A and B are shown apart, each in its own frame.
Chain A
Amino acid sequence: MRVTLQEDLDTLQASLLEEGELVLRALRGALNALREADAELADEVIAFDDEVDQRYLEVEQAIEALLARQTPVAVDLRLVLAMLHINLHLERMADYCVTIAKLTKLVAGLEPDSRMIQAFEEMGSRAEEMIKVALEAFVDRDVDEASSLVDLDELIDRANRRVVRQVLELDPELSEWGVRMLLVSRCLERIGDHAVDIGEQVAYLVTAEFREFTDASHPVQGP
């Protein structure tokens, strides 16, 4: 039994899950700032990203050291590679939270559309759920749970497309606000995509085969 290697892997996984918790806090902060048009909270979300970045860097460096010193193979190697990817996906999610916070500041003083604000709350909740499902699937090494992210992602994607239609229908005086909100919607949709990508890493870890759950460049055509 390679005790040191196992301890290093356990520590890395724990760090990654803590990073996931930070991302969930950032997302909740960004959603609250958007709903309440709270520029101060938006600033806090932007500043908070340093903590996520710090954790990202720690995980990255720990993986580099582990690869150099422990030369993991087989399932251990797949776990390290999966954690390398998951780390990056979490960091990108946090970056989208920052973008949402910046957009919130940009629309300060503009009249919002309350119906769309409600839609973002719903999209955000789905994104939060997807992050939790992705991390649970990782902890449990559960391919079925990871695969369920595809259906959850479809719901966010539909909501994103509805936002596009709603913005096109907005009164002209709301158009600047609407254009900014298109980007917010896109950020939430991308967070969902990164959660699906984490699910794909879980499937790779368990099955030793990398597969994309869905292929955006070769979508299955409907009837």
Chain B
Amino acid sequence: MTQEDPVTQTDTMVNVAPIEIAQRRERPQSTAARETVFDIQNLSVSYGKAPAIKDVSFEIYHNRVTAIIGPSGCGKSTFIRTLNRMNDLVPSAKVEGEVLYHGVDLYAPKVDPVQVRRRIGMVFQKPNPFPKSIYDNVAWGLRVLGMKDNMDDRVQHALEQAALWDDVRHRLKKSALGLSGGQQQRLCIARALAVEPEVLLMDEPASALDPIATSRIEDLMHELKNEYTIVVVTHNMQQAARVADMTAFFGLEVLADKSRTGILVEYAETDKIFTQPADKRTEDYVTGRFG
């Protein structure tokens, strides 16, 4: 670090230099070009008169894990559900703004929600396998969508991608309900992957699992991002820090009528969010100084 060489330095050689930035520790930035999958512009969602999220704008990138973090009620789940039109199933939900998926507005009148959900799959907090065999759980989406060629191969491939094949290869015809919680969640991931989506949305995918099963899901996310774009909602900040490339922090804003709505506070590389957050609200949240 700061050193003087008493032999070679003399008074005349040395100026008292102004303090200069001699060396910065630059954080490594990904040099790979980012391809935008979702371009979210001024997105607001409300349920009846209650606003859930307001004026959210950011881009989600291809082959990245993007984590959505924030306190309860900030609209994390509402947000992720707009990415594959799951909110269509809530009659009172009203979506404003645009969700552009490869430049196409997902909420344009001609867009078929079924096709949207085929390309943008979803995994939920609680594993929800159908009360059918393991095989039929994975094959279900394929049958619905008419992807009936090479069915066995497709099922095997999806189970392999979900790191479940070795666990279940000898009991494919057994009920999925006999699997452990962690296995059931990986089965749900296999079910989502079977129809060959581009994007996998995960809403608290590990919050109902024990630490070992959680670790397997996190490892899986790390592998799957090579082929898929993953968006994950998590309450667990350390999980976001471990698995995500990009992190969006949603916070709460009190509106003029005293109602509260979710807003996007900060969106950046995960590394930055957890080391040098730009917004004080983000720093307070990640360091646990909120509330």
Q: Is the CB of A74 within 8 A of B286?
A: yes
Q: Does B170 contact A (CB under 8 A)?
A: no
Q: Is the CB of B12 within 8 A of A1?
A: no
Cβ < 8 Å to A, chain B residues 13-27 = 13-17, 19-25
A74-B287, A75-B287, A161-B10 given; A210·B24 CB < 8 A: yes
Q: Interface size for chain B: under 10, 10 to 19, 20 to 34, or 35 or more residues?
A: 35 or more
Cβ < 8 Å to B, chain A residues 25-73 = 71-73
Q: Does B91 contact A (CB under 8 A)?
A: no
Q: Does A150 contact B (CB under 8 A)?
A: yes
Complex Cα distance A72/B14, Å? Answer: 41
Which residue of chain B is the closest to A160 with respect to CB atoms?
B6
Chain A residues near B283: list those with CB within 8 A.
Answer: 74-75
Q: Does B288 contact A (CB under 8 A)?
A: yes
Complex Cα distance A74/B282, Å? Answer: 10
Q: Is the CB of A214 within 8 A of B241?
A: no
Chain A residues near B274: list those with CB within 8 A.
Answer: 73-74, 77
Decide if the interface of chain B is mainly helix, strand, loop or mixed.
loop
Q: Is the CB of A214 within 8 A of B6?
A: no
Q: Does B71 contact A (CB under 8 A)?
A: no
Chain A residues near B288: list those with CB within 8 A.
Answer: 1-2, 5
Which residue of chain B is the closest to A157 with respect to CB atoms?
B4
Complex Cα distance A186/B7, Å? Answer: 11
Instruction: Determine which of B2, B14, B20, B291 lies in contact with A193 in the assembled complex, contact meaning CB atoms within 8 Å.
Output: B2
Q: Does A103 contact B (CB under 8 A)?
A: no
Q: Interface size for chain A: under 10, 10 to 19, 20 to 34, or 35 or more residues?
A: 35 or more
What is the distance, in angstroms, from B2's C-beta to the closest C-beta of chain A?
Answer: 4
Q: Is the CB of A1 within 8 A of B291?
A: yes
Decide if the interface of chain A is mainly helix, strand, loop or mixed.
helix
Which residue of chain A is the closest to B12 with respect to CB atoms?
A222
Complex Cα distance A184/B286, Å? Answer: 47
Complex Cα distance A215/B288, Å? Answer: 37
Complex Cα distance A150/B19, Å? Answer: 8
A2-B289, A210-B25 given; A74·B14 CB < 8 A: no
Q: Is the CB of A72 within 8 A of B287?
A: yes
Q: Is the CB of B238 within 8 A of A71?
A: yes
Chain B residues near A72: list those with CB within 8 A.
Answer: 287
Q: Is the CB of B17 within 8 A of A220?
A: yes
Q: Does A172 contact B (CB under 8 A)?
A: no
Q: Does A212 contact B (CB under 8 A)?
A: yes
Instruction: Determine which of A74, A189, A197 lies in contact with B1 in the assembled complex, contact meaning CB atoms within 8 Å.
Output: A197
Q: Is the CB of A189 within 8 A of B6?
A: yes
Complex Cα distance A215/B12, Å? Answer: 18
Q: Is the CB of B2 within 8 A of A196?
A: yes
Q: Is the CB of A212 within 8 A of B9?
A: no
Complex Cα distance A215/B216, Å? Answer: 46
A1-B288, A158-B11, A211-B23 given; A73·B275 CB < 8 A: yes
Q: Does A19 contact B (CB under 8 A)?
A: no
Q: Does B276 contact A (CB under 8 A)?
A: yes
Which residue of chain A is the closest to B289 with respect to CB atoms?
A1
What are 17 A-B contacts with C-beta separation under 8 Å?
A1-B289, A73-B275, A73-B287, A150-B17, A153-B2, A157-B4, A157-B9, A193-B2, A196-B2, A200-B1, A200-B2, A210-B23, A212-B22, A213-B20, A214-B20, A214-B22, A215-B23
- Chain B interface (Cβ < 8 Å from any Cβ of A): 1-7, 9-17, 19-25, 237-238, 241, 274-277, 283, 286-289, 291
- Chain A interface (Cβ < 8 Å from any Cβ of B): 1-2, 5, 71-78, 147, 150-151, 153-154, 157-158, 160-161, 163-164, 182, 185-186, 189, 193, 196-197, 200, 208-216, 218-220, 222-223
